[in-house]
Chains A and B, each alone.
Chain A
């Protein structure tokens, strides 16, 4: 066995000596989502940005348009606030969960 793949696993307060697997290595640590950072819910290309830094927005306002699978998807704000930063521009290709806009 490869000693680099050694793993201590705790189940019900008992620590077991064991080894890791490729899927287990890929696992990502979970963190509390920050609702001031707006992430892309789908991958695609930014077509249009409908707000600018400093704008005051409320829930339901249109934020931007993402083209994905040949469809233009208008994305709305789920929560209001003041726009601190716009991190993308038209033409950018974004992946799922990429940061798009930061609220103050």
Chain B
């Protein structure tokens, strides 16, 4: 055979395999509002940068008449490409090939790209669209999942792992995304659950739709399993590209610094925070007033909204923000917000991203439901994560910082490197009303007019303690600054922190209150 014939044969073979489950199945995929695996990768990576591996891999099932079946690519596309010129590894399950079901060779393709990503220290992005385990392959399918989970865990803290849920992701399959760092979901397309509506109906008699059980909104707002919500697939892929433009591509990557840009949002930072500590405001306006280009990539925007986390740049350098959000639930710490913040802090620490903490909280959320849901152990995660983190920790106390909440939010005592306070800061053991009622209980009870006496004592307490000066007098706050000085102070502190000493210990690892 001539070389031209051989080339022609190769191209023909490629064409056939790339058709996945065939034109009919592709049509069906489109009807359900979804793109195909290869179209998705094209949207994700730089134009023309994709190299597909293992195109000709075949499944290894022999039972149940599977031996003679041809499954193109075994239902998954793997390869490498670039995003803004930087290499990444990617796999995308192909729902058009037997519902993207996971058999052993399918899993081995995913494992190959996971291994490559870890070896080359580049991000690994998984696009999930699969009906689950390929039942005909029995325990081999389970082995496949296990191998994937193992690599997710081994890669954790070394390379960013992103999961994109673009179809069903049910049963054991949900645990790979759950082990990765960022889960992206798309409205009406993503469905994640351990047991689906059919099983729930049979066992419990409860009827629920897939969407209400484990749709994109549920995981973004209620469960906290998803980190980014998009209205369509296109928006989802641009979110991924944007996130990867902020975060390091491995735990040693220093290539995150960009040209310094001034904040552009029209925000008067001196007047964002109301002086009255009981009034709400949006803490994201403080973030936008200090970040380059006022750009902020918010992570888990709709989950535990009383805590805001995400990435921005200050003076060209990427930082992770952890901020109490007085707009929701007065910015309290609770089970969900503690969990959200703690994992983010650990992520920043693993990838050497300095943490900027903006503090304004009345304490922990009171209530039976919180106590019974374990706010003690969940709240402890925040203390643990901050105490353990060795990256530069910069804290700005915007307004109230009361009680246990003050300690937890990257206080000097958990070894924040720099602690700033605004003139509106109130650093105290608790809110003035509560404190005055305890300290002056006797005087209030014995007064001719207890209400008048209480008011007077609350005012007295406010005057003396609801300010940053008491904490500053003890060195717990380094500097009391005007809000509009914040950005410049942080830029200088970040510069100074670049050479922060790394303390080595001989402990294997701690035991955080997971």
Which of these binds chain A: B130-138, B324-332, B408-416?
A: B324-332
Which single member of A13, A19, A43 contacts B433 (CB below 8 Å)? Answer: A13
CB distance from B169 to the nearest CB of A (A): 22
Q: Are B434 and A14 in contact (CB under 8 A)?
A: yes
Q: Are B369 and A15 in contact (CB under 8 A)?
A: no
Which single member of A11, A43, A68, A95 contacts B431 (CB below 8 Å)? Answer: A11
Chain A interface size, as a band, is 20 to 34
Once bound together, how far apart are the Cα atoms of A12 and B306, in whole Å? 18
Which single member of A20, A30, A44, A69 contacts B329 (CB below 8 Å)? Answer: A20
Given the known interface contacts A22-B221, A68-B203, the answer about A13 and B330 at a Cβ–Cβ threshold of 8 Å is no
Interface centre among A23, A30, A93 (most CB of B within 10 A): A23
Near A by CB (< 8 A), chain B positions 419-447 give 430-435, 437
Interface centre among B302, B330, B332, B369 (most CB of A within 10 A): B330
Q: Are A95 and B332 in contact (CB under 8 A)?
A: no
Q: Which residues of B contact A93 (CB under 8 A)?
A: 203-205
Q: Are B304 and A19 in contact (CB under 8 A)?
A: no
Q: Are A12 and B402 in contact (CB under 8 A)?
A: yes
Which single member of A10, A16, A28, A44 contacts B203 (CB below 8 Å)? Answer: A44
Once bound together, how far apart are the Cα atoms of A93 and B201, in whole Å? 10
Once bound together, how far apart are the Cα atoms of A17 and B336, in whole Å? 20
A60-100: CB near B (< 8 Å → 1, else 0) gives 00000000110000000000000000000000011100000
CB distance from B428 to the nearest CB of A (A): 10
Q: Are A20 and B328 in contact (CB under 8 A)?
A: yes
B157-176: CB near A (< 8 Å → 1, else 0) gives 00000000000000000000
B362 located at the interface, meaning its Cβ lies under 8 Å from any Cβ of chain A in the complex: yes
Once bound together, how far apart are the Cα atoms of A12 and B402, in whole Å? 10
Which single member of B203, B305, B330 contacts A11 (CB below 8 Å)? Answer: B330
Interface centre among A10, A11, A17 (most CB of B within 10 A): A11
B222 located at the interface, meaning its Cβ lies under 8 Å from any Cβ of chain A in the complex: yes
CB distance from B333 to the nearest CB of A (A): 10
Q: Are A14 and B304 in contact (CB under 8 A)?
A: no
A1 located at the interface, meaning its Cβ lies under 8 Å from any Cβ of chain B in the complex: yes
Once bound together, how far apart are the Cα atoms of A30 and B369, in whole Å? 7
